[in-house]
């Protein structure tokens, strides 16, 4: 597991929103390390996250609503959210974050005791960047967190040229992680951007679901092939008039192709 050291910015015996003591003096003192927001209902949850992530500045939140406020004020690098919160589900938190222009850039890791394929697919459809079933090992949590923090824009080593590329009405800038459709910006999650990059980089070749899963798994752990379908569904919804560029190949996977070219 990575050498994370724990740094909480307020009382270690209660999550934010439960006791709410001032954290300004501690925040002023601690400036180094990635900022990680732990969103969970109990102190046991926060204690485990803090214990397993060292060299990180860890903030605590006890509810989804409080976490959204803290995300705007504190601007964490990563949010780790429990699947069941006092005021909403972790999935609902992810969906709300993706619909909020101020928060949709956040990296989101959902941890859930429910580990069916449907639960995993639902998490990704709601905008999670990764899903970790509980119970989990410290090594796996550290690997998932490191993978998410490493990916500045979600396309580290994109398989196509770094220059901005124009494909019909779709423009993709790998270096800046920008996507536009007909001149309008499209906000994608880091994982959606990675999937789009893989498809565009395929240059019309069919990519199997398994190949896409294995590419994602190299950074984020094993996944079901159905997760790919969830990301493609979300991509198509966001790409609007360019949605048809991602074509399904029945029983195999997907390819990127601009109609008429």
- Higher-pLDDT residue of 164 and 221 is 164
Strand partners for 58: 8, 36
In the predicted structure, residue 73 carries a pLDDT above the cut 50: yes
Q: Work out the pLDDT band at 96, boundaries 50, 70, 90.
A: very high
* Region 181-186 average pLDDT: 91
CB-based burial label for 80 (10 Å; 0-12, 13-18, 19+): buried
pTM of the model: 0.58
Domains of the chain listed by start with CATH number: 5-150 (3.40.50.2300), 165-256 (1.10.10.10)
pLDDT digits (tens, 9 = 90+) for 123-139: 888 889 889 988 888 87
Q: Work out the pLDDT band at 15, boundaries 50, 70, 90.
A: very low
Do 77 and 57 contact (CB within 8 A), yes or no?
no
Closest CA to 79 of 103, 114, 100: 103
- Distance, CA of 21 to CA of 153 (rounded, Å): 34
């Amino acid at each position: 597991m990575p050498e994370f050291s724990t740094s909480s910015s307020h009382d270690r015996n209660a999550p934010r929103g439960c006791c709410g003591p001032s954290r300004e003096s501690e925040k002023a003192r601690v400036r180094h390390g990635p900022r990680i927001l732990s969103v969970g209902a109990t102190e046991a949850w926060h204690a485990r996250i803090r214990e397993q992530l060292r060299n990180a500045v860890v903030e605590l939140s006890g509810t989804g609503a409080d976490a959204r406020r803290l995300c705007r004020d504190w601007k964490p690098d990563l949010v780790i959210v429990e699947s069941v919160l006092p005021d909403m589900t972790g999935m609902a938190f992810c969906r709300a974050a993706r619909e909020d222009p101020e928060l949709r850039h956040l990296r989101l890791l959902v941890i859930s005791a429910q580990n069916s394929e449907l639960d995993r697919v639902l998490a990704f459809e709601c905008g999670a960047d990764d899903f970790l079933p509980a119970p989990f090992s410290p090594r796996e949590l550290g690997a998932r967190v490191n993978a998410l923090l490493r990916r500045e824009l979600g396309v580290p080593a994109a398989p196509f040229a770094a220059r901005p590329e124009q494909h019909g009405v779709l423009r993709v800038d790998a270096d800046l992680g920008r996507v536009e459709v007909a001149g309008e910006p499209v906000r994608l999650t880091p994982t959606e951007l990675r999937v789009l990059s893989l498809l565009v980089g395929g240059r019309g070749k069919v990519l199997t679901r398994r190949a896409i899963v294995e590419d994602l798994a190299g950074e984020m752990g094993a996944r079901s092939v159905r997760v790919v379908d969830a990301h493609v569904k979300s991509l198509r919804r966001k790409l609007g008039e360019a949605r048809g560029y991602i074509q399904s190949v029945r029983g195999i996977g997907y390819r990127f192709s601009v109609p008429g070219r």
